[in-house]
Amino acid sequence: MESPTLPGREALTSRVVPSMVLSDGSASSMTPMPAFDIESDAAVGAQKRFHVQGNAVVAGGAGTLGLHSCDALLEHGLQGLMIFDINPDNCQKDIARMKTKFPDAKIHVQKVDVTDEETVKEAMEKTVRVLGSIDTLVCFVGVVGCVETLDMPVSQWRKVLDINTTGSFICAQAAAREMVKKGNGGSITFVASISAHRVNYPQPQVAYNVSKSALLMLKSCLAAEWARYGIRTNSVSPGYMDTVLNEGDGIALHRKIWAERNPSGRMGSPSELTGAIVLLASTAGTYMNGSDIVIDGGAIVF
């Protein structure tokens, strides 16, 4: 029986397949070569090199890694910040602190379920109304579940991919549509993982690993398709970070193994991720598109 939504075999021979349109890099395109002059003032040159312009949406931004990155983006010039999170109440104290530290910035939070397409669309539209534009999207959304694959319910597999992969896609698509409307381009950064590059040890977490490896291909596809709109799409792949998610006596042995298998002998600090986040969103990253930056202390070399 033929699918009601997919063409039958006889229709395939007459189908029209869309073709990507790449930028030509000309001065009139959305990917022109930036003007470059060596600044006479060293401080000005350093400031301009990593300047972050406009407004950002940070999805899944109420966690430790997200909040550290929000703070760093604001330090480098971000004018408006909108945090999307399923549990925004968890970061109210941090938001109050940021508002005191950055009194000239517009800082807001919305409760958003990234798996709900309509909710994300409305949240992006509200962001434009409140901030004026979306120039940067950073996607931290993600859940993990460690379970033997033979015992894993299919419902858990679906949930992990729905949040980590599909949720990131929904956010990227909705943000890109707003960027295209404004016509100013923008930057999208997915937070993948070293789990996207190799199998973790010793914990089994197949759904998480697959969901994060899918983000790398999603990043590459969007980088190819959306460059003509001036939208750069990249990713970062953190290693094990020393956050509340990796605390507790129950994973003490795992932490020991992670450290022993890392050339640096330790986990990462949330502050060690922020440089790459700022780089990809800043003027220093204008020729970075389709890149993935691994930040793991060297664990990936083994």
Query: Is residue 216 within 8 Å of residue 196, measured between CB atoms?
Result: yes
Is 13 a member of any domain?
no
Strand order in the sheet with 55-59: 106-111, 80-85, 55-59, 136-139, 186-191, 231-238, 292-295
Is 257 a member of any domain?
yes
134-180 confidence digits (pLDDT tens): 999 999 999 988 899 999 999 999 999 999 999 999 999 999 999 99
Number of structural domains the chain divides into = 1
> Residue 175 sits in which domain range?
49-301
Question: Is-catalytic flag, 229?
Answer: no
Distance of alpha carbon 186 from alpha carbon 83, whole angstroms: 17
Is 291 a member of any domain?
yes
Whole-number average pLDDT of the chain: 93
The CATH number of residue 270's host domain is 3.40.50.720
31-61 confidence digits (pLDDT tens): 999 988 899 999 999 999 999 999 999 999 9
Catalytic choice (208, 229, 240, 287): 208
